[in-house]
Structure 1
Amino acid sequence: MYKRFMSWEIPSVRIKVSFQGYNQIVVSDEEGYFTVHLKSNNGFEIKKSWNEVQLDLLDQIGKVPNPVTATNKIFIPIGKVDYGIISDIDDTIVPTGATRLFEMIKTTFLGNAHSRLPFPGVSSYYQALAKGSDGIDSNPFFYVSSSPWNLYDFLMEFLDVHQIPKGPLMLRDLGLSKEQFIAGSHWKHKLKQVEKIFQIEKNLQFILIGDSGQHDPEIYLKVIKDFPGRVKMVYIRDVSPKRKTAMKEIQLEMNHLGVDMLLVKDTLEAGRHALSMGWILPSDLIEIQESKQKDEALN
């Protein structure tokens, strides 16, 4: 974990991106990150949801031997897309104690992808949402978190180990500012990333999932106001008893805007509601219940 945070930033280097014969060259920013927008006039031949993109470093970096290559996965739905899902990670998928600084630091640095366990039933619940009403994994997941990009590989391994549907991770740059260790506020980062997803996926409605501990409901309320008619449902895991009054006020305001917010104690409660709305299959609710019981036995 220490090595993840001792990373070197390599700005202004060129990376060639290749996908199905289409090539694009991008340049890393001052933090060493780069963004790719794959667009082809001829379109792409898509036979499966998950596809690989080839990445090649074009510039020499110090004494690092060439070639430097990598692959990355992209998700392109091939079935009927009912909705997209945007989920928080900390205290929504996995307990982190994000509202208690020391506990969060201890959990982050002393746990690994195998030892850190998600909330009971989360894996089956998210799989059910990914499959939707037709049983095909075609509903895309997006994960928005205030965790730094340094934890990207850890979080991807965590999703893989616990069989939670993969999706883009929208994380935060690690940097110093006068006010805080990680530059940029939790609120601004999350709101910007969620609204970025809405702007890219212009024709998709979303189910938003978060927790009551780190202002997810307030962020989602702002999204509902900025993108009317685009949010199908908001599920909030109840992890902060002190915020009961605030949650009720936000819930009422969302209702006035035509969106329901369900404050849930566990995953099974959210699964039952999703089934009642016809968003998941009855067989998947049974799987959620059995999975929750098994996970609780492990915890």
Structure 2
Amino acid sequence: MKSLFLLVLLLSTSVSAKVLMVSDIDDTIKRTHVLGYMTGGLRSTNPFIGLPELYTAFLCNQEVTKKEKDFCIKKKGVIHNNKRWITYVTAASGRLQMFGREFIARSNFPMAVVKGKNSEQDSYKFKSAEIASLLDGYPQYEIVLIGDNGQHDAGVYDHISKKFPFRKITSFIHQVYSSVEEDKEKRGSSLAKGQIAYLTATDLGLHFLKRNFIEEKDLANISRNVWKHLNTDDDDLYEQVIPSWTSCEEFVSSYKRADVKISVELSTLISKIEKRVEQLCLSKR
């Protein structure tokens, strides 16, 4: 029994050194409004502010020298350490899938494989099978799943976690829709047990810092950009963080900052972001 415990411990330690991120696109990193009018579906330069930099910092974090890290960031992760991988898996098909691929390139996200479904494929089954295939192909990697609560991601990621109970899997869900919306067509999914909600790049960045996926200076740069867009009365700016169609009262009511040690200066900045987010989200009542 003791030998089995040591084996599991050793395996979990080795897995933590390598991380595969699997990310959705629409409403996860792109301001699309899937449960509404798809107002951002045909655009290719409409990311949620701070997420391109966060994804790139994650991918380039394991570079040995500053010069190598700077080069990795400059090239959007095209050349990076094999301890970090990103794959985009989207349920979009046809023309929307094409815009998703263009979005990755034009919105400065790390360049990586984009897997999309055929129009006749069921979205839930496609995502489940594709992600399961990735886990089979990366047996020594910790898995990070990033999606939103608009359609299938919460359910798919919960299914994957149960299908691979001995793998280290963390699911982050962009909670941009209400799970108690009266209109069923606009109702978001509830998060499954163990899934972690985020709203801004700062929220997600705090969890990344806690897991040593990024450095504090990366989070500080991202948070300054988030604050710059929130600290304004200009709708066009703060809606790049929290779009007008977002329903986030549910998020702020249960929000708890990730427990990670940061500088007093950064903590003060993040407190300002949190207060502004609460103000904007509660005004949507």
Q: TM-score with structure 2 length normalisation? A: 0.62
When residues 140 and 212 of structure 1 are mapped into structure 2, their CA distance, relative to the original with a 3 A threshold, is same
Number of residue pairs matched? 196
SS in 1 for 2:91: strand
Name the residue aligned to 1:184: 121
Q: 2:205 aligns with which of 258, 271, 275?
A: 271
Structure with greater proportional helix content? 2
SS in 1 for 2:162: helix
**Pairs within 5 Å for 1:1-299:** 82-100=18-36, 103-104=37-38, 106-108=39-41, 111-114=42-45, 117-134=46-63, 135=69, 137-138=80-81, 139-174=84-119, 183-242=120-179, 247=190, 250-251=192-193, 254=194, 261-294=195-228, 297=237, 299=240
Shift of 1:211: 0.6
CA–CA distance in 1 between the matches of 2:35 and 2:95? 20
CA–CA distance in 1 between the matches of 2:103 and 2:17? 25
Residue type of the partner of 2:177?
S
CA–CA distance in 1 between the matches of 2:176 and 2:43? 22
Alpha-carbon contact 1:152-1:169 (below 8 Å) kept: no
CA–CA distance in 1 between the matches of 2:171 and 2:180? 17
Taking every aligned residue pair, what percent have the same amino acid on both sides?
Answer: 23
Residue type of the partner of 2:89?
V
When residues 231 and 240 of structure 1 are mapped into structure 2, their CA distance, relative to the original with a 3 A threshold, is farther
CA–CA distance in 1 between the matches of 2:169 and 2:121? 29
Task: Give runs of ≥4 in structure 1 deviating > 6 Å.
Answer: none
Shift of 1:132: 3.2
SS in 2 for 1:242: coil
CA–CA distance in 1 between the matches of 2:152 and 2:131? 14
When residues 168 and 243 of structure 1 are mapped into structure 2, their CA distance, relative to the original with a 3 A threshold, is farther
When residues 82 and 243 of structure 1 are mapped into structure 2, their CA distance, relative to the original with a 3 A threshold, is farther
Name the residue aligned to 1:27: none
Structure with greater proportional strand content? 1
**Deviation digits for residues 127-155 of structure 1, max 9, x if unmatched?**
12212355563311111111115445433
Residue type of the partner of 1:188?
K
Deviation larger for 82-91 or 289-298: 289-298
SS in 2 for 1:96: coil
Residue type of the partner of 1:169?
V
When residues 152 and 240 of structure 1 are mapped into structure 2, their CA distance, relative to the original with a 3 A threshold, is closer
Shift of 1:228: 2.2
CA–CA distance in 1 between the matches of 2:124 and 2:166? 22
**Deviation digits for residues 40-98 of structure 1, max 9, x if unmatched?**
xxxxxxxxxxxxxxxxxxxxxxxxxxxxxxxxxxxxxxxx9630100011100112111
When residues 88 and 289 of structure 1 are mapped into structure 2, their CA distance, relative to the original with a 3 A threshold, is same
Pick the structure with greater CA Rg: 1
Residue type of the partner of 2:106?
V
Q: CA-atom RMSD, angstroms?
A: 2.6
CA–CA distance in 2 between the matches of 1:94 and 1:169? 14
Alpha-carbon contact 2:149-2:189 (below 8 Å) kept: no
CA–CA distance in 2 between the matches of 1:227 and 1:196? 11
Alpha-carbon contact 1:90-1:98 (below 8 Å) kept: yes
**Where do 5+ consecutive residues of structure 2 fail to align?**
1-15, 64-68, 73-79, 182-187, 231-236, 241-285
Residue type of the partner of 2:34?
A
Q: Which has the higher contact order (CA 8 A, sep 6+)?
A: 2
**Where do 5+ consecutive residues of structure 1 fail to align?**
1-79, 175-182, 255-260
Residue type of the partner of 1:205?
E
Alpha-carbon contact 2:154-2:189 (below 8 Å) kept: no
Residue type of the partner of 1:91?
D
